[in-house]
Each structure stands twice: as C-alpha cells, then as structure tokens.
Structure 1
Amino acid sequence: MAKKNSASKNLVIVESPAKAKTINKYLGDDFVVHASMGHVRDLPSTGLCVDLENNFEPTYEITEGRKKLVGTLKAAAKNCNMLYLATDLDREGEAIAWHLAQTLGVPEERTNRVIFNAITKKAIQDAFAAPGKIDIDKVNAQQARRILDRIVGYQISPLLWKKVARGLSAGRVQSVAVKMVVEREREIRAFVPIEYWLIPAVFTNQLALQNQLTKQWQEFIGQKDQKDKGPTIAEQNNWLAEHSAFNAELSSIDGKTFSTDNAEQAKKIHQALQSAAFVVTDIIEKSSSSRPAPPFITSTLQQSASNRLGFAAKRTMRIAQQLYEGIDLGSMGTLGLITYMRTDSTHLSAEALTDARRYIGNNIGKNYLPEKPNFYSSGKNAQQAHEAVRPTDVDIVPEQIKDMLTDEQYKLYQMIWRRFVASQMAAAQWNTTTLEITADTKAGKCLYKAQGRTLVFDGFTKIWHTGSADQQLVAVKKGDKVAAIDIDAQQHFTKPPARYNEASLVKALEKEGIGRPSTYASIISTIQDRGYVEQKDRQFSPTDIGEVVTDKLNEFFPQIMDMAFTRYMEEQLDKIEEQHLDWVKVLHEFYDPFKLTLAKATDEMKHAKAEITPSEYTCPKCNKPMVYRFGKNGKFLSCSDYPTCKFASPCDKEGKMVVAEVTEHKCPNCGKPMVKKTSRFGAFLGCSDYPTCKTALKIDKDGNIAPPKPPAEPTGLKCYKCEKGELVIRQSKKGPFLGCNKFPRCRTIVSFKQLENLKDLQAKGQWPPKTLAEADTLLGRDKKSAAKTKTPAAEKEPAEKKNAKPKKKSEE
C-alpha cells in the first residue's frame, strides 16, 4: 500500500487501504499514501465525555485499537515534506481530517486538505494541484451533531434501563424513525375497511366468437400457480391482446359517477348489464411523454437497490463504497468506478454531461439524444458542490467488466450506470387511447371506459426499464359494436396504508427531513439491531418493546420525538456549516430545555412492568378479568388478581390470546404432556406442569423434538481475541465452525476450513497472533475487517480535551 521511507516526501492520508491503493498509482514517487482506517480519535465508548457545564467541551481519546496505527502515522508525518489529508468530502471526512491534523501535530502551513468526488487520475491530479485547508465550519457541524447525539443517547438510555428494560437505547434520530414505524402500525390496526363494489367487463370486437372467448377466458382466469395465485396483470393483458379483447371499468350510470357500497345495488346493476348491447360511442386519443428520472442521490440509490435488487440499505452502501474506492480491473488497473456515494445533489459536472451525450449519440442512437442536456433540481438542503452518484467513466460499460466484479458489484454498478445514461436520454413517447362504451339498460345508460397506452418511441426506457402494465386496445371505430365476454360484480374493501419497507422508509425519512443521506442506512440498521422493529417479508413492524419505548419517549420527551423539531435541528446543524452558525449556541438551544425535561422524566416516569391495560379475556383459573402486562419478552396476558392468581398467557401482536397447543410428547422428567410455546428465540416444547416442572425441549420447523447438539470438540488452539479461551468445534445449521469456549464472554468465530491451517501455524509458533490485524492477515480476511488493532488495557491512550472534535459512528 505505502512505501515505508517517507523522509522528505509528501504524506497522503486516506481512510481505507483500498482507497490508498487506488490513489497511490496516480501520484508520483514524491508521495507516500497511508490509511487511517476511519477515525483515529473520538469520544470514548463509555461515559458521556462532554462537559455540559463548560460549553459542551468534548473529551477525545485515540480510538480503541488505533494506538499502534497512530504511532505509525506520527512517524511518517514527522519526516514528511507536506501533509495531504485526502479523506472523504463530506462532514465525516472533514472531521476525520481534522482529528488527524490535531493528532499528528504537523504545522498548519505544511498541512493541506484535498477533496475529490471520484477516484480517477484526473480528479486526483486536479485535487492535488489546488489543495485547500480544513473547513472548520464543516468540522463544527459534524461535532455538534456528534455531541447532540451523545447527549440524547447517554442521558435517556439509562432512564430506559431503569423504567423499561436493561440494554435499551434512545437516539435523536433512531427514536423518531421507530416512532414512524409504530404510528404506521397503529394506523393499520385502527383502520376500518369500507366496502365498495366494482363491475368490470371484458369486451371483444369479435362478435361471432363471443361464446367461445367467454369459455376460454373463464378457463384462463381460473388457473392457479404453485402458490395458488391466478394470472398476473401482465399475463392477463397478454391473453387479452392475443384474443382481440380488452378490460373496461363501469364509469357512470345516467351521467352520474358509478359508486356503490352494497351488494344488492351492485348485483341489480350487474343483472341489468347481462343482456345489454354495447356500442363504442367515443374514442379519445392523446399523446404523452415521460421524462427520465434524475441520476441517483444516496436516498434514491438505496430505494432503487431495495426495489429492483432486493438489497438492504446497509448492503447497498457497502457495495457502493467498494465501487467508489476502486476495483481491480486486470490490465486496466485498479479504478474507482463511481463517484462519491453519500450525496443529496443531482448535479452533474459539465464533463460528465458531455461524456454521457457523446456515448448516447455514438452507441445508442442520435434520435435518443435530446437537443440540450437534461438538468434536474435537487432538494433545498442539497449541497450543489457535490455531484450525483454516477459512473466515473461512462465508457466502462457494465457488461464489459462483469467477469471482474462480484455479482452484487455488477448489479449495483449496472444500475448506477444505466440510471446515469438514461437521465441524459430523450423522453419516451406514448399514445394514450380511451374508449367509451355505452349500453342502455334497465338500470339506466351505463358508460364503460377502457384505457390503453402504446409506446411510440422508447427513449430512455431502452436502457432504464420502467415496467408497464398497460393493456393493448383492439382496433375499433366510433359506432362499432362490441361484445362482453365477462361482466363481474366484484366486492372490494379499502386497504390500510402499507407497512414501511426499506425503500419507503428511506423515502419517508428523506421527505420528513429526518437524518441525512449518510445516516439512512445506519438508522435502519440500528432500529433493527436494538430490537425496536422487525422485518418480515421485507416489511417493518414494531416489536412490543419498540412500542413501549416509543410511548414512554412520546409522553416525557415530546420535543425530541416531534418530527418538525427533529427536522428543525437538522436544519440548524446544516447552518453551522453553511451559514457559520455558532455550534455551541445550537447545542444550548437544545440542551437547556432538555435538561429540565430529563429531570421531570426521571421523577415521574413509571416502570413499564407496573402498567397494566384491560383486555377482553377472563382468567380460565379464577374467572377474574385478564390484563395486558409488559415483561422481558414483550406484552403478555396476566390475571388481574396477580400475585394471588399467577395464570399468564402469551398473546400475539394484535393482543389475541395464544392458547397453548398440547402435543403428543411427554415430559421426560415428570411424564406430563408437553405443550408448544413460543419465546423470543422461536417455538419450543415446555412441560404443562410449569412452573412446578421447568423442562423445555427444542423443536425443529416440523414440530419434532430436535436432537441435542453434540458437545463442543476441543482443538487445542488458543483464542486470539480473549487470549484465555480455546477454539472448539461447534455445530450450526450451516455446518461446523470454530468458536471460543469462553462464549458468551468471548464471541470469536473462525471458519472451520481454517482448522488445519491454524494447527500448522500454532505448531510453528505463529498462532495466536499479537494483533487483530495480524489475525485477519493469517485468516485471509478482507483488509477492511483488519481495522482494529488490539491494544492492552494498560496501554490505552489517555483522553485529551480539545476545543472542537468528531466520528463516523453516530448515536443517531
């Protein structure tokens, strides 16, 4: 990565080894490049470490595991000619650069800041040709955000430990995100469906084939696939087009819009239509066009990757980071394939626009090139100095480098490349036709409308497929008769709002101004890791504990949980960077009222376990009312006469009692029947005589008793992390693996494939290694995971106080 002798050379520091490797080849022999592995200094992991009585002065220390690395960087900086801090161009990158400058102590006149939007030869050379200085406003904006999140997290979380359950946490942004999921779930629960009826029809202009087509249509529409689902809309449209038929919807009766909410009226109209004669009374044609979507910003990249590729936001950002930092393309060398992926701007450089237009004209067609470049507006808070996420070189076509990318890298790069090129292509052109079909019936003059859309010019959709369910209408003219091959009275009910998925939650966060592009992925990851929301079928729903915590915070910290206030604070943090707002004043504006609220909450908040909610159930043991209580595993039903009557029962997410299912299995200890129960870890069998007999057995997905796991098999290999335990062979669903026998105190896991290799290394005296970085090297792991270097507790760097300082991990 870097040449060791940096005497009288220029020292360049970036965040990661991959980025360093790519940049190194673009700089001459006068430069040596090192990686900081992210932040080298931050607020300590324990304690508040912010002086609330002294203008929020933070206490920083060398990040755990970075002491040796910092020593290496200091040695390189001591002898360097000039120091170039080439960390990322956002606030986080600026903060890393500032911390490096403070830690290394190189004089300001010899310290330069270089920023670039892409890791290409031209971008790097341009950046180093015009270096600048660290933007302290940007640093202060990041620092204020970090301190604000630390205050919220470290002062509310202990309160939740006392009043709800141990191990919980609160966050300035994460708690609002959980609230959004909770409120959506409660909207769904409170939703009352409203009945309505539709009377669609299928028409054909092949009058002589009416009876034949009616039979064929009924056979087709009645087909079911392996999942018991009928034909899709696309399949139905294909069938209709092949059989000269089309769908239409009853629009009005005697000039009044058709609408009914009862079966009797719908069936009366349906019956009247059975013998009706249908005539085409009007044909309305118009042209329309659809403009391409703008190139990606962070939020839309995450949304499209979720919808099109099924990628989680965190996964999308990890892959995008790889594409940005550089991919080895064989004879082409290591190239950064995309621009910086944390951005809220749709701006494209003049060079990018020129390259895109050249590519479109030469490779797709002159007719796909609009007269002028397409420009797009960004959000009001977007930083226009940044660019959209785009390929660094449009001529590097995804298909040409597919073999050099992993499958997920290829899919994401292809999506970014196609979206960028499509954004500069001509609009797609459509012809939209509406047929009006009328019939005189006993119920009145019924008007049906059928709409179809035909693609005249594919435009940008040639490479960015939008998916269309438009039907193809048959060729008819005004006055033509058409025959109905199906008229159906269909009962429907209005549907509740959909639960959030990753894409829609990112969109909602962006719309509400909650968080920023760089934080969306971490917010979604954090609220799941904390156990506040869970994902099923790619949809989010709150857990019981997520709802309890949300209610507690809503009651005692309404301002923190208010989306408008959260949005306001985000804007204030932005203004620290953009309008030189005093970061200390911004923190005082938040903290002064928060301090009073915290004191009140500490005194008045009741413990969640002390609160009960009435239920509709009666205790089967004593016939007294049952109530809902909150326990360590969430909500459950309990007798209101507790502790005199100790009957309790689990309940589902809707609060319905879950009746224990008696199984054929007998308790191996007392012989009584075993019942099927559910815990936070899944289904299991418990003795029906609980709590007298506490026997519990694991079961598989079919309900059979799972065989006990074999005991761990010793290997004689020492654990390289805790240095006290030994790696043993354990079994999992995916097969054997190596784990520390000090689990759960030590959670070290190593691939079973490494067993013989590690035995050989230990025999040679090379195992266990002295640092985690060495362990990752010996285990052949990705260098990114080698960021942590083991530091004995006695050798930890003492904390140091400075005026203004930041980190990548946020309590958000």
Structure 2
Amino acid sequence: MEAPQRKAVRKRSGKLVIVESPAKARTVGRFLGKGYTVRASVGHVRDLLRSQLSVDVDHNFEPKYRIPNEKRPVVKEIKQLAQKAEEIYLATDPDREGEAIAWHLMEAAEIEPEITRRVVFHEITEPAIQEAFEHPRSIDMSLVDAQQARRVLDRLVGYSISPILWEKVRSRLSAGRVQSVALRLIVEREREIEAFEPEEYWTIKAELKPQGGKTSFVARLVRMDDEEPALTSQAATEAVTADMQQGAYSIQKIKRSERRRKPMAPFITSSLQQEASRRLGFTAKRTMALAQQLYEGLDVGEGGTTGLITYMRTDSTQVSEVALKEVRELIAQNYGGDFLPAVPPQYKTRAKGAQEAHEAIRPTSVRRLPEAIKASLTHDQFRLYQLIWKNFVASQMEAAVYDTVSVDVVGKTPSHEYGLRASGSTVRFPGYLVVYEEALDEDLRSDEEMVRIPAGLEENQTQKLVALLPEQHFTQPPPRFSEASLVQNLEEHGIGRPSTYAAIISTIQERGYVYREAKRLLPTETGMTVNDLLVAHFPDIVDTNFTANMEENLDQVAEGKAVWADVVREFYDRFGPEVARAQAEMPAAKAELEKVGRACPLCGHDLVIRWGRFGKFISCSNFPECRHTEAWLEVIGVKCPKDGGEIVQRKTRKGRVFYGCANYPTCDFTSWKQPIAQPCPKCGGLLVVANKREVQCTACGESFLNEQLEAVDSEKA
C-alpha cells in the first residue's frame, strides 16, 4: 500500500513591514532596501460601528469592532502578504494610537504573533530605522488598553449625550468627553467678557532732564508718600499733576544689574502649535498636517524621500546625544564658541502628566539648513521647518545677556513726596537671539515699559521737570482664547494629550459651537446653549478636574498599573444615572428657525436658516413637503468691484475661507484676503486686508498702514 502523499508546505520568505501612510511607506522602504516589502494601512483598519454604540456595557465594556468597507481591500492584501512573509514588522507611529493600530492590524489580518515584531522610531532617517529594526519588541498591550479605554469612554459619552441634544435642541449636535470641556472654557471666558465692567484709572509720567543736560528721559509715578497713587478720575489726576508741577526732583537711587534671558525649550506638540499660531498664523490642524508631511518624508535632493523632523506628537523635551553633538558642532562653527554653553541646556517637560515621552520635535539633521532645502518644499512646509530648525538651534545656545538700569527719582512738594521710576535695558550679548526669539500673544506680553536711560545720570543729581504726561486708561476684560492660548490652557489643566489638541479645536468649530474671528475663538449661540445644558445635567463631563483625573487614570493604564475596564466601569457607574436623569429632566431648548425675509421660489412659504453637516444653509420652512435649499452666504458689507454685487464670505470644500461675489457664476470675482468697505485713497479701488498693520489695493497695488486710512477718515470728517 502506497503511503499517502503529504501536501507541500509553502516556505515563507521575505520580510513584511506595515506602516500607516503611503508617504511613510516610500521613505521607510527606501532605507530598508531589498528583502523588505513595505505596505501602508492608511490609518486605522478597524473601528467601532458607527450605526450603534458598539460597546457592551453589560459585559465588561467589550468593544465591537468592524473593518470598514473601504479598508477591506487593504486588509485583504496585508493578510495575503503576511501569510507568505517570514517576518512581519509593525512600524506604526510611536504613541498609544500607533500601538493600537498595530494591534488592530494583527487582529484584522490574522497575523501570527510568533513571527510579528513591533518596531518604533521617532524619526524617519536611515540610522533611526536601522536602530529600530535591530531592537524589535512585542506589542505593548498596556498602551493598547489605554487607547482602547479612551475610545470606549469617548463613544459612551458621545453616543449617550448626543441623542438627547438632538431631541432637546436640534439635530446633528454632538457632545464629546474632552471637546465639551474646551467649549466650556470658551463660553465661560465669553461670559466673563460680557459681565466685565471697565474701571477708569490714570497714570502719570514725567519727562525729566538733568540740570544742564540735553537728553531727557521719562519716569512713571509709582508712589505718593508711602502708598501707591489712587488715580481713579480726571479730577484726582489733575490735582496731583498741579501739585507735582511745584516739586523739586532729584535722583534717589540708580541700580545697575545684569539680566539673563534663557532660550525657549525645544518644541513639544503644544508649544509647536502655539508658536505656529502666533508667528505663522497656522491653525493647530494646519500645523499638524504640515508637520506630518515633514515627518513622513519629502524629496529634498538626497536621492529620495527622507524625514525632515522627528515625531510631532510628543510631550518630551529630551534630545538625543547624537542630535546634541551635531547641533553643538554647528553652533560653534557658524556662530562661534561664545554662543555655545559649556554644558548642554536641560529643560523640564511642562505638560501635566506627560507620559508619551520620547524626544522633542527637532530637525532630523540640523545640518539640513532651511534655505538649502527651500526649493524642495512648499511655502508653508518651509515656514514650519524653518520655525522648528531655528527653535531647536536656539534652544542649545547661550542665554542673552542684558545690562539693566533702574532709576528712582524723588519729587518733593510742600504737600507730598512723589516716587518715580524709569527702567531700561540694552543687549550686551545677544546669545540665542541671533537665531530665534519666542513670539507671544498680545495678552501674554509684559506691561513693563523699557525706556532709554541717558548716560551721565548720578545719584542725588537734580532733575528738571520738562513736562507731566497724564494718561487715561480703562481696565480690560480677559482676552478671548486664541488657538494658541486654548492649547496652553488645556495643557496646563492636564486635559487631552499631544495627539488630541488639534482634533479638539477642529471639532468644536466644525460642530458650529465655536467660530474664529480675528484669530480669536468665540462661542456661537448654539455653543452656549449646549454648554449650559451640559453644565446643568452632566457636571462631571465638563469639569476640568474630573477630565484631568481621567487622563491620569488612562496614564495608569498605559503604565500597566490599572485595568482599562475598571477605569471605564468607575466612570460609567456615575455617568449612566446622569444620562437617565438628563433624558427625563433636561428642558427643551429648541430655538425658532430664523427667517431669511424671502419667500421660497418653489412654494411661496418662508425661507429659514437651518444647520446641516457642513454648517448653515437656507431651506424652505415647508420641509419636507418642499425640499428647496440654498447656500448660506455671509454678507460682509462690501460691494464687488466688477458688477457692484454684494461680496460674501464663502468656504472651500476643505473649509478655507475666501470672499466672492454673490452673483457667481455670472460674476467671477474672488479674493483670499478680506475686502474692506473703505476705497483706496489713491485710486478708489477695492482694499483688502494684507496683515494686522496694513491693507492693499487690488487695483493699483498700493499698500497703506491702518493709521494712514484713519488719517484720511479724519480729514474727511
């Protein structure tokens, strides 16, 4: 009897590497070379079902995952390649979400754990990739569990509260575990501003000059007898100035000292978003999209694509020894030994509860100068790369040194003794300022006024009073949040993590809760209504301390110190009853539909403003019987230079704002820059906003400072 033939077992060969994006796949593939097949998963390959909660609250919050239809071909190909590969490397991003994507890939494509390894690199360069592949590891299930817990918590909140808002307010609203806290911060700031009552106060400055001297200086009144002057009205100020006019003035004290100004730390995710907002005008979303491109790799003429910056989702300020050595060599060579500290500066991570620490955001090679690769980058890619390059180089340089001088002047009258002070500084050694200086929001700038102090001043020297300069002021309300200051506030409260800031800010704007105006975030009426309902019925969800504590609990899961299902259960035991109460007790807050003031061209009923997936639109009040709709056009009060029609604010499909004629397509006028109503003083043409300080004419090309336009208005008046 013949022995049965054994089925031939196909021998595995080759190595399969899986990353998230095609761009990253191209770059990684170039460095690995032959023998490696690199494929992109194009992000997540599994997710919770959209049509249902997909979390079994009765069975340990077990999530129900599904491969989306559009990802099935990707998973099928990866599965086929994995069955043939001898070794499989999961090279997704080096954070919790990347770890979760790697795990989902294994589960969805049924990849065998025995031949699968996880590799992590924080920059896409040849040395970093080689190092990573020499030290593979297993998937860290603690990181996966932390990300899964975050996803489940967010799903529980969103799918429990959103339907209540649809019923009580209007459809297509949503509530999120972290976005609702951000909305509350913006709404409460707006309420502070609305409730603010300005108070009048005055300051007095004195222009003084040494007896016989030629150069004067200005000192500010800081003391009246032994107290701070209370100048709350014009009458009180005039009484003080009248008395000061009779005073005898002399220098009481001159203090000279040195002040050292240290450079800003290397960028982490939040500080990069803040600085790009202040200095470049980028939204957080735009910053992260550009940083992703720089990280994944671009062709800058080095024989193929290469990563230009390290991983951009980080809360660590650490810098590798290799990078420190390279930047210190560049500083010594390009700027001189005086600009190089004896010991590399060390920076503390400022983020509360920082856990996903690896390395700061920096160029992968500081020798890759911004100007040298400018031609290979888009305008915005170059600007962001240059910002990161300058910040990193400056962070490793010597501090700037200032010579400071403070002059205390005393003025004596028969009634009172007045103390005045003038402070000034000069740069003795520029240090890191030769490369980079941190930008600040207007509301973060110091009120301290630095004045020019003339040489030759001496203690006890008599001063002549040249003039008194009283000035009226009013206290100012707290400033509205910019994207930069909101990110900083979220970070300080420990809310969110590096990968979430951009998504938080984008979501509250896309939902119609918040809008941007002059780079500031303002709540809409809908946003204020939703916030008030959440504060009243879900106090934990919108409590900053509660949300920060939840982030710390997730960090405990990531460190293997807590079980993810226990963290979710502790939350849901409090949250579940709140949902039931809100369903029964939350009052209806449906606003009446706002009428446009025109009749429907199809049926004659009133046209009204509604909200849809992409924001406002106009429809018939007789819906669903009549389905007439129109785009919502935001009129800005400026006439079109081509046909005299109204110029309206529009948005591209990607959400970018532009301005065009309401008579489109009959009139094709468009402008990326905002037009203003005032005509050009030179030719009468249309003016558009060029930047904060000036406008430009679209007809003659002439530019004007805002002060020049104000002067023209004054002359006409």
TM-score (norm 1): 0.71
Structure 2 residue 390 is matched with structure 1 residue 429: no
1:156 corresponds in structure 2 to 161
Q: What residue number does 1:268 align with? A: 239
Q: Check 1:372–1:156 CA distance in 2 against 1; reply closer, same or farther (3 A cut).
A: same
Shift of the alpha carbon at 1:262? 2.4
1:479 corresponds in structure 2 to 460
Among 431, 453, 461, the alignment partner of 2:433 is: 461
Kindly indicate whether the alpha-carbon contact (under 8 Å) linking 2:275 and 2:438 is maintained by their aligned counterparts in 1: no
Q: 8 Å contact 1:249–1:449 — kept in the other structure?
A: yes
SS at match of 2:522: strand
Residues 12-33 of structure 1: per-residue CA shift (max 9 Å, x gap):
0101111111111111311011
Task: Say whether the 8 Å CA contact 1:137–1:576 is kept in structure 2.
Answer: yes
Q: How many equivalent pairs are there?
A: 613
Distance 2:589 2:599 in 1: 34
Partners in 2 of 1:339 and 1:167 — Cα distance?
38
| Match of residue 264 from structure 2 | 293
1:405-455 alpha-carbon deviations (Å, 9 max, x no partner): 111111111111111111111111111101122222354222210000111
Distance 2:24 2:599 in 1: 60
* 1:758-782 CA-partner distances (Å, limit 9, x unpaired): xxxxxxxxxxxxxxxxxxxxxxxxx
Matched, 1:631 2:579: no
Structure with more relative contact order (C-alpha pairs < 8 Å, separation 6 or more)? 1
The verdict on how the C-alpha distance between 1:733 and 1:116 changes in structure 2, with shifts beyond 3 A counting, is farther
Q: Residue 665 of structure 2: which of 698, 722, 731 is its match? A: 731
Secondary structure at the aligned position of 1:608 is classed as coil
In the alignment, which residue of structure 2 is the partner of 1:330? Answer: 301
Contact 2:270 2:488 in 1 (8 A): yes
**Bigger mean CA deviation after superposition, 513-522 or 327-336:** 327-336
| DSSP 3-state at the match of 1:65 | helix
Secondary structure of 1:489's counterpart equals strand
- Partners of 1:733 and 1:178 in 2: CA distance: 39
1:366 matched to 2:337? The reply is yes
Maintained 8 Å contact 2:352/2:494: no
Task: Report if the CA contact (8 A) 1:347-1:384 is conserved.
Answer: no
The partner residue of 2:222 within 251, 276, 283 is 251
Corresponding residue number in structure 2 for 1:21: 26
AA aligned to 1:566 is T
| CA deviation after TM superposition for structure 1 residue 484, in Å | 4.0
- Residue in structure 1 matched with residue 90 of structure 2 by the alignment: 85
Paired residue type of 1:410: F
Q: Given that residues 205 and 474 in structure 1 are in contact (C-alpha distance below 8 angstroms), is that contact kept between their aligned partners in structure 2?
A: no
Deviates more, 1:176-185 or 1:579-588: 579-588
In structure 1, the residue matched to 2:422 is 450
Aligned mates of 1:385, 1:524 — CA distance in 2: 23
Secondary structure in 2 matching 1:490 = strand
Taking the aligned partners of 2:617 and 2:408, their CA distance within structure 1 comes to 57
Sort the Cα spacing of 1:544 and 1:370 in 2 relative to 1 into closer, same or farther, 3 A: same
- Distance 1:186-1:373 versus aligned 2 partners, 3 A rule: same
SS in 1 for 2:637: coil
1:201 pairs with one of 206, 211, 226: 206
Residue 598 to residue 298, structure 1, CA distance change in 2 (3 Å):
same
Checking the alignment, whether the CA contact within 8 Å between 2:313 and 2:499 is kept in structure 1 is: yes
Q: Which residue, 56, 60, 75 being the options, matches 1:55?
A: 60
| Percent identity for Structure 1 against Structure 2 | 45
**8 Å Cα contact 1:700/1:706 also seen in 2:** no
Counterpart of 2:366 in structure 1: which amino acid? V
- Partners of 2:76 and 2:438 lie apart in 1 by 53
Pick aligned residue for 2:126 from 97, 108, 121:
121
Provide the rounded CA distance (Å) in 1 between the counterparts of 2:574 and 2:181. 19
Provide Cα deviations, 1:487-510, integer angstroms capped at 9, x if missing partner.
222222211111100110000000
Is residue 481 of structure 2 the alignment partner of residue 470 of structure 1?
A: no
Point out the more displaced range, 377-386 or 470-479. Answer: 377-386
The answer to whether the aligner puts 1:567 opposite 2:503 as a matched pair is no
Q: 1:281 to 1:168 in 2, by over 3 A?
A: same
Residue 334 of structure 1: how far off its partner (Å): 1.6
How far did residue 293 of structure 1 move?
A: 1.6
State the distance in 2 between where 1:77 and 1:683 align.
48
Q: Verify: 1:102 aligned to 2:83, yes or no.
A: no
RMSD of Structure 2 on Structure 1 (CA):
3.1
Deviates more, 1:96-105 or 1:268-277: 268-277
Rounded Cα–Cα distance in structure 2 between residues aligned with 1:75 and 1:293: 49
Alpha-carbon contact 1:207-1:482 (below 8 Å) kept: no
Q: In 1, are the aligned partners of 2:400 and 2:433 still within 8 Å (CA)?
A: yes
1:526-559 residue CA offsets vs partner (Å, 9 max, x unmatched): 0011011111111111111111111111111111
Q: Report deviation, 1:49.
A: 1.1
What is the match of residue 188 of structure 1? Answer: 193
How far is the alpha carbon of 1:513 from its aligned partner?
1.0
Contact 2:158 2:174 in 1 (8 A): yes
Name the residue aligned to 1:414: 386
Name the aligned partner's letter for residue 370 of structure 2: P
Q: CA deviation at 1:732?
A: 9.2
Do structure 1's residue 514 and structure 2's residue 512 form an aligned pair?
no
In 2, distance between residues paired with 1:396 and 1:702? Answer: 46
Q: Report what 1:627 is aligned to.
A: none
Asked if structure 2 preserves the Cα contact closer than 8 Å seen for 1:185 and 1:541, the reply is yes
Q: Spell out, residue by residue over 1:106-153, the C-alpha distance to the aligned partner (whole angstroms, 9 max, x if none).
A: 211111100001001000000011111111110110001001100100
Is the 2:92–2:102 Cα contact (8 Å) retained in structure 1?
A: yes
Matching residue's letter, 2:450? D
User: SS of the counterpart of 2:665?
Assistant: strand
Which of 130, 139, 145 is equivalent to 2:150? 145
Question: Residues of 2 paired with 1:80 and 1:733: CA distance?
Answer: 59
Distance 1:91 1:248 in 2: 56
CA shift in 2, pair 1:416/1:667, >3 Å: closer
Counterpart selection for 1:342 from 313, 318, 325 = 313
2:175 paired with 1:170? yes
| Structure 1: runs of 5 or more not aligned | 1-5, 210-243, 610-629, 634-648, 651-659, 661-665, 670-676, 685-693, 710-729, 737-812
SS in 1 for 2:32: coil
Aligned residue number for residue 657 of structure 2: none
In structure 1, C-alpha distance between the alignment counterparts of 2:600 and 2:188, rounded to whole Å: 46
Give the direction of change, closer, same or farther, for the CA distance of 1:47–1:18 in structure 2 (3 Å limit): same
CA deviation string 1:385-406 (max 9, x = no partner): 5001111111111121111111
5 Å-filtered alignment, 1:499-648, equals 499-609=480-590, 630-632=591-593
Q: CA deviation at 1:201?
A: 2.4
The 1:668–1:31 alpha-carbon spacing in structure 2 relative to 1, beyond 3 Å, is closer
- Which ranges in structure 2 are unaligned for 5 or more consecutive residues? 1-10, 440-445, 602-607, 619-627, 648-663, 671-717
Hey, what's the Cα distance between the residues in 2 that align with 1:202 and 1:38? Answer: 65
Distance 2:208 2:667 in 1: 55
Distance, in Å, in 1 between the alignment partners of 2:128 and 2:570 is: 41
Distance 1:206 1:316, change over 3 A: farther
Task: Look up the match of 1:758.
Answer: none
User: Quick check: 2:76–2:109 contact (8 Å CA) kept in 1?
Assistant: no
Match of 2:140 among 135, 138, 141: 135
SS of the residue corresponding to residue 296 of structure 1 reads coil
Q: Would the aligned equivalents of 1:283 and 1:477 in 2 still touch at CA under 8 Å?
A: yes
**1:300-325, CA deviations, whole angstroms, 9 ceiling, x for partnerless residues?**
00001111111110000001001101
User: Aligned partners of 1:79, 1:679: CA distance in 2, in Å?
Assistant: 54
What TM-score do you get using the length of structure 2 for normalisation?
0.80
Q: Separation in 2 of the partners of 1:180 and 1:198?
A: 33
Contact 1:194 1:493 in 2 (8 A): yes
SS of residue in 2 equivalent to 1:71: helix
Q: Output the CA distance in 2 between the equivalents of 1:700 and 1:349.
A: 51
For 2:353, which of 364, 377, 381 is the aligned residue? 381
Instruction: Determine the C-alpha separation between the residues in 1 that align with 2:139 and 2:45.
Output: 17
Deviations along 1:258-303, one digit per CA (max 9) or x if unpaired, are 2222222211111223354432232111112111121010000000
1:269 touches 1:443 (CA, 8 Å); kept in 2?
A: no
Structure 1: which amino acid aligns with 2:287? T
